[in-house]
Amino acid sequence: MTSQCLNVVQLPTDLFIGGQWINSISQARIEVFNPSTQQIIASVADASLDDAQAAVDAAAKAAPAWAATPARARSEILRRCFELMTRDKERLATLISMENGKSLNDALGEVTYAAEFFRWFAEEAVRIEGDFSRSPSGLARTIVQYEPIGIALLVTPWNFPAAMATRKIAPALAAGCTCILKPATDTPLTAYLVAEILAEAGVPDGVVNVITTRASGKVCSQILDDDRVRKLSFTGSTEVGRVLLRKAADSVVNCSMELGGNAPFLVFDDADIDVAVEGAMIAKMRNGGEACTAANRFYVQRGIAAEFSKRFAERMSALRVDDGAKAGTQCGPLINASAVEKVASLVDDAVSKGAVVLTGGNSPDRVGYFYSPTVLINVPANADLLKEEIFGPVAPIVVFDHEDEAVDAANATEYGLVAYVFTGDIARGMRISERLESGMIGLNRGIVSDPAAPFGGVKQSGLGREGAHHGMLEFMEAKYISVNW
């Protein structure tokens, strides 16, 4: 157990503005709970509108020097961020487990993934290329160069408290932007610890500012109303995403939105069943099901359905459900009480409409916000959990006969973040991948997240991409210079 490597008392919990740790002007605090124990672990500052103003001022003050810092120097600092996050991996993972509830194993995986964004964007920072051409008329030369877009507001969810922050901070800094991060109120501590590490790595004062607040709506509105703020990068629910897109319209702020998902997981008769069950465990249970990429609906072809369901249910029922920060835990609690209520009501709805529970289907009788790993079969098409994000350890299985039926069912949603396809016939896999309305496809793989690949959704799962070279361009504007020489 690694909780010895974390002294909660020494954690930064004040606002991080202009390189200073400061309590909010109002002195108000927000309590942070451990969902495994329901105990308070710390409290963080509750930023007011004046604090938000100070954060924008700090980001504006730091902006010209950061934009003018040579790309190589920015790259070196980002590289150092990667190294220090890797050095502090255990400490960060323990904190993530404590405030989010996910297993230490999942938390360590998250920290590795989170740190990789710094390594990747350290490499991208020195590859900001432009274009040169002669205009078709022959009258001008066309030069296109990419410039930092300006101050960025970064708003992140609680399910990956480190990775969702670094997936935005690293490309923003690589592009030459300064930023204000507003992490989720359920998991603020990780963001502050990341900020402390970035400061140690040499990120100049004011380049990254972090503020937590109970008044997310008002604080973000005020920041977006400031003309100096030119970018909003949001990860969270589609519902809040819509609110922020409307708000950003007032000052025509450029938006990148990573929103909700409802991932279909398709298994064909010709799939390698071991690979499919392993993929299902990863796609469903990474983060205990609390991932936008979590497999939400399993469509399994009739010939393999009984065997797949049986083996998947065996694996799910064998998971060790316990305190996330305890060594050996495979499935921690959900984030809070309302998450458990939502998951339970989705399962009850499906069962009332005819679904059959193969394993789970209830909350274990213990302290903490737990729900048992659950597999449901005979799930009818009108069950709510096929339409909504479950965001918990519940796998509903639906049987299909024909390829078209599976593709139509998979596409029958307003979401389009990720889809998983398992088949032994790679030509079929490619054909189906091209027909699925989804920003990302896992073909015979239960995980797609990779800092070097463009992450993002189509339809109401979002706008823009994070990671890859695309991620940095989201923080840049193209400037075109028409030259007569």
Q: Which residues of 229-238 are buried (b: 16+ CB within 10 A; e: fewer)?
A: bbbbbbbbeb
Q: How far apart are CA 18 and CA 7, in angstroms?
A: 25
Alpha-carbon gap, residue 440 to 271, rounded angstroms:
20
Q: Which is nearer to ligand NAP, 32 or 201 (CB)?
A: 32
Chain residues in the site for ligand NAP (CB under 6 A): 155-160, 164, 182, 184-186, 216-217, 220, 235-237, 240, 243-244, 258-261, 292, 389, 417, 457, 462
Q: What type of residue is 342?
A: K
- Copy the structure tokens of residue 106: 């999942």
Shortest distance (Å) from residue 473 CB to ligand NAP: 17
Cα 184 to Cα 174: distance, rounded to the nearest angstrom: 24
Number of neighbours of residue 262 by Cβ within 10 angstroms: 28
Rounded to 5 degrees, φ, ψ at 448 are: -120, -15
Shorter beta-carbon distance to ligand NAP: residue 160 or 312 = 160
Neighbours of 359 (CB within 10 A): 18
Residues 6+ apart with CB under 8 A from 87: none
Smallest separation (angstroms) from ligand NAP to the CB of 483: 40
Q: Do 318 and 395 meet the contact criterion of CB atoms below 8 Å apart?
A: no
The sign one gets for the Cα dihedral 247, 253, 254, 256 is negative
Q: Which is nearer to ligand NAP, 201 or 240 (CB)?
A: 240
Q: Is the backbone of residue 459 left (phi > 0), alpha (psi -120 to 50) or beta?
A: left
- The Cα–Cα gap between 148 and 154 comes to 15
- CB of residue 418 to ligand NAP, shortest distance in Å: 9
Residue closer to ligand NAP, measured from CB, 116 or 389? 389
Are 171 and 154 spatial neighbours (Cβ–Cβ below 8 Å)? no
Q: What are phi and psi of 94, to 5 degrees?
A: -65, -45
Q: Closest distance between ligand NAP and the C-beta of residue 240, in Å?
A: 3
Residue 157 CB-half CA count within 13 A:
19
Residue of 386, 317, 389 lying closest to 358 (CA atoms): 317
Residues in the chain: 485
Give the whole-angstrom CA distance, residue 481 versus residue 479: 7
Least gap, CB of 157 to ligand NAP (angstroms): 3
**Least distance in angstroms from the C-beta of 261 to ligand NAP:** 5
Question: CB-wise, 104 or 292, nearer to ligand NAP?
Answer: 292
Q: Between 221 and 330, whose beta carbon lies closer to ligand NAP?
A: 221
469, 455 contact by CB (below 8 A): no
The Cα 206–Cα 124 span in angstroms is 22
* Helix (H), strand (E) counts: the chain: 14, 20
Nearest-angstrom CA–CA distance, 40 and 36: 11
Q: Please, what is the minimum distance in Å from the beta carbon of residue 295 to ligand NAP?
A: 13
Using DSSP's 3-state secondary structure scheme, residue 376 falls into strand
Q: Which is nearer to ligand NAP, 109 or 457 (CB)?
A: 457
* Residue 103 three-state SS: coil
- Residue placing its CB nearer to ligand NAP in the complex, 3 or 287: 287
Place of tokens 């360590």: 108
Catalytic residue from among 99, 110, 196, 258: 258
CB of 441 to ligand NAP, least distance (A): 15
Q: In this complex, which beta carbon is closest to ligand NAP, that of residue 42 or of residue 399? A: 42
How far is it, in rounded angstroms, from Cα 156 to Cα 184? 6
Position with the least CB separation from ligand NAP = 236
Distance of closest approach, residue 395 Cβ to ligand NAP, in angstroms: 17
Does residue 388 carry a catalytic annotation?
Answer: no
Q: State the catalytic residues.
A: 258
